[in-house]
Amino acid sequence: MKKTFLLLSLFLGIAYANATDYYAQYRTDWAQKAEQYKPTLNETVIRPQSIVEFVKDEKAFQGWKANIIGEAKPFFGQSFKNQKEIILDLGDHYTGYFYFKLKEIQGIQDAPVRIKFTFGETAPELSTPYEPFNGGLSRAWMQDEIVTICEINDYETINRRLACRYIKIELLGSSPYFDFTFDDLYFKAVSSAKESEYVYDPNLSKELNDINRISLRTLHECMQTVFEDGPKRDKRLWVGDLYLTNLANNYSYQNYDLAKRCFYLLASLADENGRLHANVFEAPKPHPQYGTYIIDYNLLYNVALLDYYKATNDIETIRDLWPVAKRQIEDAMQFLNDKKIYDREKSAGLWLFFDWKNELDRYVAMQGVTIFSLQKTYELAQILGKTNEVKNYPTFINEMKSAAKKYFYDKNQKLFISNGQISYISQVWMVLSETVKGKEASELLNRVMNTPNAVTIGSPYGYHYLIEATIKVGMKSKAEELLINYWGKMVEYGADTFWEVYDPYNQYTSPYDFFPLNSACHAWSSTPVYFINKYFK
């Protein structure tokens, strides 16, 4: 009886899995390939170069700058009980693990010592008190750790990966009966990118050279065992970030195994209906952020696959993942209505991103990204000889373009309007989707950039698409101007890596209500390396 029940359960279990898991037959293979292409990280030992102090400076970004006050070397061997506090400078942004070794220099350790280490990507991050903490994300993202050293002996480490340039060390407790020093201290930096590819290009302006260099560093830091969105905070793979880092990688480090791993990993963790999750985690074992989807991100997954194929000719990967690409289109299209535009009611629960801009109405952009993705996915089908599976795409594309013009285009204002709103992003996606082309398209972009009330761009992520659209319509010098005005300003402010958030109108802008929580090294800000190497060289 029990045996029968067990067999029945197993049978039903399998039947259930087959019936409901869209990718049941592929998942194991994808997960294995994701694992197979997991890179070994390159390790580099970095010791601090300088001792710095942070000083208030109105001209500095977020009001603080780092002044070098000496070399780091003499710090080692000196009494830390006398020093009590120090800020060390690694000289650049690094991602990795921290090690230190204490040594008794007077008396015998008769009590534990208590030391606080705070790791910061920037001077203002380390100069702003974290308490009382009112940030909108976990306080635990802040990289301050208190350690108790019971026995001074060998190297000690801090049990988390860190991302920083500066290390602040404060003595919180020690015995009156002995003294000690830092005998050694180093950062084991890790990345799956080779060391920086940057070489000064005399044919480029200094500004573009700087932007190129810092983009490379940003990408380098985000290249771990996936393309992480930020090595300090979030530390996971998002589909939208992958779209951008894949582009940047194609034009720089060309670590195609890493890209391949990311494609397979996302696919292996898609939900039972075949929809990709917006982001996935690698540890303790790979898992998605269940229930989290961004439809525009998923449509860009297909485009990233095509970009990857064009860079690699790796047909096996796009053949493997073709069911995913096709499924993302099907998934998105279900929210269209008879007019071939997204139905606001059907799609009410969807998370659409496009840019960090709360007020942005995203329906024109959704129309655009869907057309864009349909075109690129059809190109994938052509490469794979599978156009018969997507015969209806060309019709969809035409119908959606017509619908966009019919329902969103305002002939008087000569702009696309999304629920009464004029935005940069709406026009950008009408251009990228080739709903408008040629002179019409360049005029559209110029027009929105001259519309004072238009909703502007809110993030480096959004800026990427604006610049891409600007280049697409042939306005290369405008694109360069935008690049230099936005990323170039971060360079002027002394950025070592490009930031998650840069708001030219408010240096303290934070989506988390606490600017030190912002990531100062963010994958989605690394695409100038793509623009410069693809278009400006």
Residues engaged in binding a second copy (CB under 8 A):
107-114, 133, 136-142, 145-146, 148-154, 159-161, 172-176, 233-234, 236, 281, 283-284, 287-291
Element (H, E) at 188: strand 179-191
In terms of CB distance, is 13 or 107 closer to a second copy?
107
The 3-state DSSP class for residue 508 equals coil
- For the bound state, the minimum distance from the C-beta of residue 307 to a second copy, rounded and expressed in Å, comes to 28
Measured distance between the N- and C-terminal CA atoms of the chain, rounded to whole angstroms:
75
Buried b / exposed e along 382-420 (16+ C-beta atoms within 10 A): ebeeeeeebeebeebbebbbebbeeebbeeeeebbbbee
In terms of CB distance, is 50 or 181 closer to a second copy?
181
In terms of CB distance, is 161 or 319 closer to a second copy?
161
Q: Work out whether strand 50-56 and strand 156-157 pair parallel, antiparallel, or are unpaired.
A: unpaired
Cα dihedral angle (272, 274, 277, 281), rounded to 10 degrees? 70
- For the bound state, the minimum distance from the C-beta of residue 188 to a second copy, rounded and expressed in Å, comes to 17
Contact call for residues 103 and 181 (beta carbons, < 8 A): yes
Contact call for residues 217 and 139 (beta carbons, < 8 A): no
Q: Work out whether strand 156-157 and strand 287-288 pair parallel, antiparallel, or are unpaired.
A: unpaired
- For the bound state, the minimum distance from the C-beta of residue 396 to a second copy, rounded and expressed in Å, comes to 34
In terms of CB distance, is 113 or 364 closer to a second copy?
113
In terms of CB distance, is 39 or 112 closer to a second copy?
112
- For the bound state, the minimum distance from the C-beta of residue 140 to a second copy, rounded and expressed in Å, comes to 4
- For the bound state, the minimum distance from the C-beta of residue 290 to a second copy, rounded and expressed in Å, comes to 6
- For the bound state, the minimum distance from the C-beta of residue 58 to a second copy, rounded and expressed in Å, comes to 31
The 3-state DSSP class for residue 185 equals strand
Q: In what order do the strands lie in the sheet with 409-410?
A: 409-410, 415-418, 421-422
In terms of CB distance, is 283 or 348 closer to a second copy?
283
Number of alpha carbons in the 13 Å side-chain half-sphere of residue 269: 27
Could you give the angle at the alpha carbon of 298 between the alpha carbons of 504 and 14, nearest 5°?
A: 150
What is the spatial distance between Cα 406 and Cα 402, in angstroms, rounded to a whole number?
Answer: 6
- For the bound state, the minimum distance from the C-beta of residue 511 to a second copy, rounded and expressed in Å, comes to 13
In terms of CB distance, is 105 or 152 closer to a second copy?
152
In terms of CB distance, is 140 or 348 closer to a second copy?
140
In terms of CB distance, is 115 or 247 closer to a second copy?
115
- For the bound state, the minimum distance from the C-beta of residue 158 to a second copy, rounded and expressed in Å, comes to 9
- For the bound state, the minimum distance from the C-beta of residue 114 to a second copy, rounded and expressed in Å, comes to 4
Q: Which two tokens stand for residue 2?
A: 């029990």
Number of alpha carbons in the 13 Å side-chain half-sphere of residue 297: 23
